[in-house]
Amino acid sequence: MTPFSGSAVQNAIYIAREPPEWPISFEDWERRAEEKLDPRAFGYIAGGAGAEETMRANLDAFRRWRIRPRMLTGNATRDISVEVLGTRSAAPFLLAPIGVLSIAHAEAEVGAAQAAAAHGIPFILSTAATHTLEDVAATDAPRWYQLYWGNDRDLCASFVHRAEAAGYRAIVLTLDTLTLGWRPRDLRQAYLPFLDGQGCGQYFSDPVFLAKLEQRPDEDPLTAAATMLATFPNVGLRWDDVNWLRAQTTMPLLVKGVLDADDARRALDHGVDGLIVSNHGGRQVDGAVAALDALVEVRDALPDAVVLMDGGIRTAADVVKAIALGADAVLLGRPYAYALAVGGRRGVEELLQNLMAELDLTLALAGAHSIRELDRTWLSNAVSHG
């Protein structure tokens, strides 16, 4: 396979001698998305819990680390690919599970998955998606399924079994959203897209859920949406319950939302195959620890575990820092949601191509041959070293 060339992507932009059609930086994507979206939809995607301190902490954590380039290493070609639990990715990131992508663009999860497939990037489908498991499977993207474990075990099992039947390669159980956090941007607008039927695709296509209704969702959409919301909270869930979920499938099982080394150990003790260090992009607990800081703690405690990280990834430098600090891969969230809002599938394809190009060039200039060789010797702590 021909190595990915960031220089080729960059040179094509310069040779065109015209400003590119698509945004280049994260800030450009965010600005264009805000211009295009309904203010309520933009606020839902962009916002976080409380005063949004956790969102800021995620970004600030990356600034505390600096890359230490190495010269003349002969790295004329680089490898930015990774493999996690049997799933290969052409770059060291996966597309994070984001609910209700239909508020960003009509192509929603299908468009994002198609873009991921075009670049060999795995797509993680959210339980709170508008398109169904089966619709996204038809894109043939390498894919995992993210599970919100509501208060109905039969429904939970049905989602897992549907994912297995549709060729998903792993289950990602989200731990940190057993009920919704306090999100002022949405509360000011009294905006919850699920009440409009957005993000209900898995439920409205599931036989276990449909058996709860007297009328089909298309006949009584408000009751269907209210029933879906009633099944969502499950704050009584405990670690021992994970044993039941582990028994439901032979697929790899990951947990998302770990911010503490003790919780990470407990997860592994209950049969989990991988950990995703995440604070839900700052959308759940305001004032929480930054995901990158928690990654360091979890990796130090569990040097051999499969550990991914989610939260604050904006640039190739962020990816490099997270991998060097111990992540096997990272999850890309808001950047692709904004790209979807700007241009649907094509927008996401462009974002992924440019991020991969930036990553390849960053490795070239840092002196690395492979993303997988990075460790903490490639970084310097900005706080300690000034």
Give the active site residues. 280
CA distance 159 to 208: 9
CA-only gyration radius of the chain, Å:
20
CA distance 26 to 14: 19
Number of H helices, E strands in the chain: 17, 12
CA distance 325 to 248: 33
Q: Provide the 10 A C-beta neighbour count for residue 21.
A: 9
Tell me how long the chain is: 386
**3-class SS at 270?**
coil
CA distance 125 to 172: 9
The DSSP result for 108-135, as a single string, is HHHHHHHHHHHHT--EEE-TT-SS-HHH
- Widest CA span of the chain, in angstroms? 70
